[in-house]
Structure 1
């Protein structure tokens, strides 16, 4: 038997299960935290391990305690019929998204600089103690 004759399937068997689960997760995310809570309660009512699994997943994925900025999908609004306004709105939203991304990057660099300064100070203090 040649190893070249054996071919792995394009989609593993786990994708048969994960596909519907991902669609269900996305469907619940679209409806918000109340939908997750209702699903968890129904899980406890009909099959308690399912409710427990949903509760654990909600806590693990931070769906239970906020973090509503989990999905970073672009804002979409249907066309108003006024093409000039729609173009202006799209341009403005793109500019705001770019500014937001730049600001988040700036904050990350500030945090990294602060962490580096604190670490350098720690290493300097540690070196001073070793010399004494």
Structure 2
């Protein structure tokens, strides 16, 4: 006693199972569909694009992002979390500034080395070294 809703039910369960594993599962299924019989892979690709499976974020990603802004209900923990996130952001900004200074120092050292080599080359050729002034 099967009804016409049975294939739809099977399809929905398969869709939910693939959604549970995210985009890699959808892509692997599509590739497998192309390997087995190319119209199956093509149909899966079309379904992924038009069904927005290819471009939406997975449940796990949206849950992890949402965790940072949610209140736990415990004010002490929320204060600790906010303080820790603020400290991490400050450390990230300080580290980015450090990397910028490091790159600038490296660039300056390379430029100074180039200018010194250029002066030596011009002096050995008996020419006056060009000046930046």
Q: Which bin holds the TM-score, normalised by the shorter protein?
A: 0.3 to 0.5
TM-score normalised by the chain length of structure 1: 0.45
Which gives a bigger RCO, structure 1 or 2 (Cα 8 Å, sep 6+)?
A: 2
Structure whose CA Rg is larger = 2
TM-score normalised by the chain length of structure 2: 0.45
